[in-house]
Structure 1
Amino acid sequence: MPIEKGDIVRIAYTAKLEDGTVIDTTDEKIAKEFGIYSEDYRYGDVYVIVGERNVVEGFEEDLIGKEVGYKGTVKVPPEKAFGEYDPEKKEVISIARLKEKPRPGDRIKVGDRVGVVERVIGRRAIIDFNHPLAGKSIIFEYEIKEKVEDIAKKIEAIFMIYTGMEVKAKVEGKKAIVEVPRNFHFVPYAPLNKVSALARIFKYLDIEEVEIVERHKKAEVPSFEEVKEEKAEEKEEKTEKTEAEAKEEKTEEKGKTEDELKAEIIPEDVKS
């Protein structure tokens, strides 16, 4: 059966620019080959709910009408990828608003917006708030591996899409029981993203109730001594910064307004 809106499919893909530059892929080997590998990224096939924009619009549209096993390529224009480039989205800000002097290419956060430093002129910086891929066509080479049919598997796929975590689900009538990992509530944003997952379950599946289960076994629960030791190690790591460094940072921030502290350079290790 052809893929339709509302279907959940498992796909593999590699995204490139028109000059052949690989910008994203589900294949770990390709990521390493083209120098875009990240230890924080989960490689392997991904699930997509067709119609929910889990991938860019133009790519999603190309999935519709295809069948499992399809392999192909689609060129997605800017307006259906990351948008057209808008020169009006450039702004000039005073570098006094930043905790450290910016350099061209730095990504910085100003309020709730993220931009890239284009140029630094004296005490001012020109920030481009366009998406880094705005104005570019993206070429997707992809394969449709599976169309998920089983309701329990659909629930597991939905949780993977929105929380990034593997869960176990079973269905009893119109009730779903979802067992989440023991660390589920400690993973940043997972509990919040759970709400997004539940919304899609109720939207696309004939489910009236979802029970979330966090299961623990005696043998898997660490002893009080182990927890205490782990906490001590964490505390030791956090106090590696000397009092002199902490005092220096405090001095630098003293006197800055709240608005000034809203602008910050995004460290290299958290760029995406």
Structure 2
Amino acid sequence: MVFNDGDFVLINYTIKVKNGDNYLVQETTYEDVAKQSNIYDANKKYGPYLIVIGKSTLIAAVNEAIKEMQPGEKKEIKADPSKAYGERREELVIRVPIKQLKRYNIPLRIGQQVEIGGRIGIIERIAERFAYIDFNHPLAGKELLIDLEVVKKIEDFNEKVRYLVERWLGIPGNDIEVSGNQNIINIGLPVKAIYINDLDSKLQLLVGDLYQYIKPEEVNLNIKVNTKEIQSEEKAKEGQEAKEQEAKPQEEKVAEENAK
């Protein structure tokens, strides 16, 4: 199968970075691999990742490999910097006054991730008056080994919309109602949507993706709410907060009580 621009494809991947004679897992969509490699993040959703051929930002090595693969196929590929994230550039290490970082309450510690002018960087070193922030991609200059799997091509229109909604809102596809057609898309969201942090911004990103990848004339978003569902969600939230509080070390609990 040759994929065409605009095709919706689910992939799995594991990115490993060369470190001496070995390769260390840096990122993966497989939960078990993340746990085995000690990079598991409980806040991250693991599972197949959605790409749109010709429109998603992929490194050259992955983009070239996918075009030669079939659904269900797995492949291991090597990528030098020219086919990955490029060479590391010293001019992207920027000197920023410490006063400026303090003004925005940015922690002054080596390895701290910061955002300045819409760019993400890492504090590389700290001098008396300046912090040196590296705006290179973390994998710039690195040789990568990538385990790549093409899971499937998504053909169904409703399924395409559900995956885009899940990508931005984190709501499982089974909880999302989709109807309409390519010109008019109707999306029904469950009550849990109103509890999503920064919902407005995420809805804007979702609508942006819908227009970029599907190009409808109209998108209708509807959140179905009833009091019983709200009560259920609030109880679940209170229960989670109680568990988190119980799991805190005793010293943190004492500090919080003293602060009240």
Question: For 1:26, which of 26, 29, 37 is the aligned residue?
Answer: 29
| Other structure's SS at 1:21 match | strand
Question: For 1:82, which of 75, 80, 85 is the aligned residue?
Answer: 85
Q: Is the 8 A contact 1:15 1:139 kept in 2?
A: yes
Residue in structure 1 matched with residue 248 of structure 2 by the alignment? none
Deviation string, structure 1 residues 131-162 (Cα, Å, up to 9, x no partner): 22112233221111111111100111122234
- Measure the CA separation in 1 of the matches of 2:51 and 2:107: 41
- Measure the CA separation in 1 of the matches of 2:65 and 2:14: 15
Q: Is the 8 A contact 2:191 2:229 kept in 1?
A: no
How many residues are treated as equivalent by the alignment? Answer: 236
Residue in structure 1 matched with residue 62 of structure 2 by the alignment? 59
- Measure the CA separation in 1 of the matches of 2:145 and 2:58: 13
Residue in structure 1 matched with residue 153 of structure 2 by the alignment? 147
Amino acid at match of 1:92: R
Unpaired runs of 5+ residues, structure 1, are 244-272
- Measure the CA separation in 2 of the matches of 1:93 and 1:170: 48
Deviation string, structure 1 residues 51-81 (Cα, Å, up to 9, x no partner): 2225434323321242211110222333443
2:135 matches 1:129: yes
Runs of 4+ aligned structure 1 residues displaced above 6 Å come to: none
2:17 matches 1:17: yes
2:224 matches 1:215: yes
- Measure the CA separation in 2 of the matches of 1:201 and 1:120: 43
Residue in structure 1 matched with residue 180 of structure 2 by the alignment? 172
Question: For 2:96, which of 63, 86, 93 is the aligned residue?
Answer: 93
Question: For 1:160, which of 153, 162, 166 is the aligned residue?
Answer: 166
Amino acid at match of 1:7: D
- Measure the CA separation in 2 of the matches of 1:217 and 1:101: 43
2:186 matches 1:183: no
Residue in structure 1 matched with residue 76 of structure 2 by the alignment? 73
Distance 1:205 1:95, change over 3 A: closer
| Other structure's SS at 1:178 match | strand
Question: Which structure 2 residues correspond to residues 173-252 of structure 1 after superposition, within 5 A?
Answer: 173=181, 174-205=183-214, 207-222=216-231, 242=259
Distance 1:101 1:153, change over 3 A: closer
- Measure the CA separation in 1 of the matches of 2:229 and 2:217: 33
CA RMSD for the aligned pairs? 3.3
* Mean Cα deviation higher: 108-117 or 10-19: 108-117
Deviation at 1:126, TM superposition (A): 2.8
Amino acid at match of 1:50: I
Amino acid at match of 1:120: I
Distance 1:208 1:240, change over 3 A: farther
Q: Is the 8 A contact 1:69 1:143 kept in 2?
A: yes
Deviation at 1:177, TM superposition (A): 2.0
Residue in structure 2 matched with residue 256 of structure 1 by the alignment? none
- Measure the CA separation in 2 of the matches of 1:98 and 1:47: 36
Deviation at 1:106, TM superposition (A): 3.0
Q: Is the 8 A contact 2:95 2:132 kept in 1?
A: yes
Q: Is the 8 A contact 1:155 1:169 kept in 2?
A: no
- Measure the CA separation in 1 of the matches of 2:156 and 2:6: 14
Higher RCO (CA < 8 A, seq sep 6+)? 1
- Measure the CA separation in 1 of the matches of 2:12 and 2:107: 41
Q: Is the 8 A contact 1:153 1:169 kept in 2?
A: no
Amino acid at match of 1:8: F
Amino acid at match of 2:94: E
Deviation string, structure 1 residues 69-108 (Cα, Å, up to 9, x no partner): 1110222333443332111122333434444873433334
Distance 1:109 1:217, change over 3 A: closer
Q: TM-score, normalised by structure 2?
A: 0.75
Residue in structure 2 matched with residue 2 of structure 1 by the alignment? 2
- Measure the CA separation in 1 of the matches of 2:92 and 2:134: 6
Q: Is the 8 A contact 1:178 1:211 kept in 2?
A: yes
